[in-house]
Chains A and B, each alone.
Chain A
Amino acid sequence: MEAAAFLENPEGPMSDIPDPVVERNKTETVASFEHHSRGALDRVQHFLHRFPTMVPVIVLVLSVIAFGLISPNFFSAFNLSLILQQVAVVGTLAAAQSLVILTAGIDLSVGAVMVMVSVIMGKLSVDFGIPVPIAIVIGLVVGAGTGALNGALVTRLKLPPFITTLGTWNIFLALNYYLSNRETIRSQTLDAEAPLLKLFGERFNLGGAVLTYGVVLMLLVFAVLWYALYQTAWGRRVYAVGDDPEAAALAGIQTKRVLMSVYVVAGVICALAAWSSIGRVGSVSPTSFFEANLESITAVVIGGISLFGGRGSILGPLIGALIVGVFNSGLRLAGVDVLWQLFATGWLIIVAVAIDQWIRKISS
């Protein structure tokens, strides 16, 4: 209703032009578009509409302060860096998930792709004696292939992404059990035969903070995606396709090609997350990260990316993943039962989606 009042406001720029030919020359000078006054709530809505990532940023800052006051240990560089380590894998997956959700899709298969690719990387290196770098490249290609399969089903057969990836989730999970024979490749075996696979678990010191290369990888993935989405034509097209696919097609975008590229890139990022997950867990386990796909969606939603596509910043899911990490760590340090972590995460999701709906009302 605030938005409607704003658009119909008689002080609006379209209505004060009785004779456009005469007025036209006057309006060359800089005139403020939003000069009429609005209510405070209205202004908040418009501010969040312009900067949707501010919601998760505020939540993150407030929760860090709150948990810091509750438990003194929380603020230590060690604990804060531990949170980063804990969210590195899910955060990387959330980057892949963000791309798909920006196109108004959803990818339920990201977790299964990640585990399957980690099994492939491990098996090829350990059981088949393939040089580790080549096994990693094969893993990345398989990741791209899984994305291509999802993308082809969505664009060629026109299946809804939810159903497509619900199907491929099960398929990849089954393949994962088949390929791994449900056996874990132990940490010692990896150390002896394929130490490169554990690269992203290695730690380094940064002024009291202990980071892993997995954290660096996650930050790099987000940085590259930020560049691609905001500074290249491809990124603008991803947003356009997610926002209104018909309008994008009429404006000359080859929407199927854009969608396909999004799923393939998401698949490759899942494969990178797979490599990172081996370092994080220390072994290759076909039963690990069972909830990773849902956790990645949680991070994206809390991060303020709209499930309806085309809206939200790619940096939001990074913050969303950190919020979940901060809640988990903070509540644990405060000695709260684990179930309340789930409880808190649940409310965060609902509040985040409610805020998104409210912000979107501006356009109606």
Chain B
Amino acid sequence: MTEPLLYARNLVKRYGRVTAMDHADFDLYPGEILAVIGDNGAGKSSLIKALSGAVQPDEGEIRLDGQPVAFASPLEARKAGIETVYQTLALSPALSISDNMFMGREIQRQGFMGKWFGMLDKPAMEAFSRQKLSELGLMTIQNISQPVETLSGGQRQGVAVARAAAFGSRVIILDEPTAALGVKESRRVLDLILDVRSRGIPIVLISHNMPHVFEVADRIHIHRLGRRLCVINPKEHTMSDAVAYMTGAKVPEVLAA
């Protein structure tokens, strides 16, 4: 069996008396879509935050490609190739698509103006943004300099995913990407997710939407009471099984797949 690309064991995070993560484990294999589901308060978001650098676990270890890592901030996780698309998208509505794609990692011009006056290479950034959007089939957005706030919800999600896909070389984490979208736009984002996987980047998908999870996920990580309860194959289990495991109504036969 292949090695997990992103691997975590015995992660513990306590907030005062509350234990958000209680010896949680996590495995993400290359090229797969791993859905993470769990009831509210099960500790999904703490787990994801630990993996994306937003939270530092008290105990446990995280390995990326076999190497132990300890991210002090989301920036460090990003530098290691882990991109997160937050539920809020983290886009600046008044700025252009291109500005948003490169926020925090702008390209400067070569030569004198870039070196001494920090001049941005706008043509290069716009060309790159256009290329990335069309790779994901998002070129119905024509004007790369149009402000993000003039886009529809699905298009904004598309820009956020495109940004993650453009820079996330190892892992992309998507937090509730379809929660705020209508049926058609959700459809579009799910296709986008499959598209990203087809290019070999593994995806962690956090979602409450069981039909979406069962449609795109290769494996489903069920989180309960601060730890991984089990990992199931969506082809061998039904949605009601998953919900039953999640809520504790049913105990899975196999505790790890």
A231 to B125, CA, bound (A): 12
Give A33 to B134 CA distance when docked, in angstroms: 15
A residues near B (Cβ < 8 Å) are: 7, 12-15, 17, 20-21, 24, 27-28, 30-33, 49-50, 227, 231-234, 236-237, 239-240, 243-244, 246-248, 250-253, 310-311, 362-363
Nearest CB on B from A66, distance (A): 32
Q: Do residues A21 and B140 form an inter-chain contact, with CB atoms below 8 A?
A: no
The size of the chain B interface, using a CB distance under 8 A, is 45
A243 to B184 Cα, complex, angstroms = 29
B residues in contact with A239, CB < 8 Å: 92, 94-95, 99
Does A232 lie within 8 Å of B120, measured CB to CB? yes
Give the residues in chain A near B146, CB-CB below 8 Å: 33
Say whether B93 contacts A14, CB under 8 Å: no
| Inter-chain contact B88/A250, CB cutoff 8 Å | yes
A248 — which chain B residues lie within 8 A by C-beta? 90, 92, 103
Query: How many angstroms between the C-alpha atoms of A13 and B139 in the bound complex?
Result: 10
A27 and B191 contact, CB distance less than 8 A: no
Residues from 98 to 143 in B contacting A, C-beta threshold 8 Å:
99-100, 103-106, 108, 117-120, 122, 134, 137, 139-143
A-B contact pairs, 24 of them (CB 8 A): A13-B141, A13-B155, A14-B155, A20-B191, A21-B191, A27-B140, A28-B134, A30-B142, A31-B142, A33-B141, A227-B117, A233-B106, A233-B108, A236-B106, A237-B104, A239-B94, A239-B95, A244-B92, A246-B90, A247-B90, A251-B90, A253-B103, A310-B94, A363-B149
Q: Are B117 and A232 in contact (CB under 8 A)?
A: yes
- Tell me the minimal C-beta distance from A173 to chain B in angstroms: 35
**What residues of B have a CB within 8 angstroms of the CB of A21 in the complex?**
191
A-B pairs with CB below 8 Å: how many? 118
Out of B95, B105, B142, which one reaches A33, CB within 8 Å? B142
Q: What residues of chain A lie closer than 8 Å to B119, measured between beta carbons?
A: 231-232
Nearest chain B CB to A41's CB is how many angstroms away? Answer: 17
User: Are A14 and B140 in touch, CB under 8 angstroms?
Assistant: yes
Q: Assess A233 versus B149: contact at CB under 8 Å? Given A21-B191, A33-B141, A240-B103.
A: no
Q: Is B40 an interface residue (CB 8 A)?
A: no
Most chain A CB within 10 A, of B142, B146, B191, is at B142
Chain B's closest residue to A245 (CB) is B92
Roughly how many angstroms separate A233 CA and B120 CA in the complex, as a whole number? 7
Residue B221, interface by CB 8 Å: no
A27 and B137 contacting across the interface, CB-CB below 8 Å = yes
Kindly provide the distance from the CB of B183 to the nearest chain A CB, expressed in whole angstroms.
Answer: 10
Partner of B140, one of A7, A13, A236, A243: A13
Does B150 make an interface contact (CB < 8 A)?
yes
In the bound assembly, the distance between CA atoms of A28 and B138 in angstroms comes to 9
Q: Is the CB of A14 within 8 A of B94?
A: no
B86: chain A residues within 8 A (beta carbon): 250
Asked whether, in the complex, the Cβ of B91 is within 8 Å of the Cβ of A17, the reply is: no
- Taking the nearest CB of chain A, how far is it from the CB of B5, in angstroms? 22
Q: Which of A14, A240, A246, A252 is close to B188, meaning CB atoms less than 8 Å apart?
A: A14
Asked if B70 lies at the interface with its beta carbon under 8 angstroms from chain A, I say no
Task: Tell whether B75 is near chain A: CB-to-CB under 8 Å.
Answer: yes
- Would you call B152 and A17 a contact (CB within 8 A)? no
- Interface membership of B27, Cβ < 8 A: no
What 0/1 pattern do residues 186 to 211 of B give for CB contact below 8 A with A? Answer: 01100100000000000000000000
A272 to B106, CA, bound (A): 30
Tell me how far the C-beta of A228 lies from the nearest C-beta in chain B, rounded to whole angstroms.
8
Determine whether B74 belongs to the interface, using a CB cutoff of 8 Å to chain A. yes
Given contacts A14-B152, A246-B88, 8 further A-B contacts (CB under 8 A): A14-B188, A15-B184, A20-B188, A24-B137, A231-B122, A232-B118, A246-B90, A253-B103
Task: Give 7 nearest A-B pairs by CB, closest first.
Answer: A252-B104, A363-B149, A24-B137, A250-B90, A13-B140, A233-B106, A232-B118
List B contacts of A232 (CB < 8 A).
117-120
A187 to chain B, nearest CB (A): 39
Chain B residues near A246 (CB-CB < 8 A): 88, 90
Are B137 and A20 interface neighbours, CB within 8 A? yes
**A17 in contact with B104 (CB, 8 Å):** no
What B residues does A231 contact at CB under 8 A? 117-120, 122
In the bound complex, how far is the Cα of B86 from the Cα of A233, in angstroms?
A: 23
